Amino acid sequence: MKQGLWLVLSLIALTSLCDTVNQLYLKSAIDSLNFTPTFNIIKIFKFIFKLIGMPRLWLGFSFSLISLCIWLIVLSKADLNFAFSADSMHYIFIALASRFVLKEKMSTRRWLGTGLIMVGIVFVSLS
């Protein structure tokens, strides 16, 4: 049982990691296009088409697909509410990756907020 728990937890960590990698690729692709937000529909469509033409984005999508497959395996082994609360570790990965890969400035306040969201999600999922 204990071994099964560790297996499920590492699988959940793996899906979270794959999701994080997907978001990193998406964010870096968007940043590289240097698009100024607008409400001009044609400009938005042009931007989206340019975006889906980037190989980096499809690399990200393939990670997202892997993540989905692992998630389905997790759901076949664990309760949904346990899986959801454990999946909140996703926020830590995003925070760390943003800090160290994208070099975003993480203030104490942002870390605190991210931590509180994680605690909150565990409570919501377990209740």
Q: For another protein, what does the binding mask look like between residues 1 and 40, x meaning CB under 8 A?
A: ----------------------xx-xx--x--x-xxx---
Q: Which residue has the tokens 């400035």?
A: 105
DSSP class per residue in 61-86: HHHHHHHHHHHHHHHHHS-HHHHHHH
Least CB distance from residue 11 to another protein, whole Å? 21
- Find the binder of another protein among 48, 68, 69, 75 (CB under 8 A): 48
- In this complex, which beta carbon is closest to another protein, that of residue 5 or of residue 119? 119
d(CA 11, CA 15): 6
3-class secondary-structure state, position 7: helix
In this structure, what token pair is assigned to residue 11?
């699988």
Least CB distance from residue 20 to another protein, whole Å? 9
- In this complex, which beta carbon is closest to another protein, that of residue 4 or of residue 46? 46
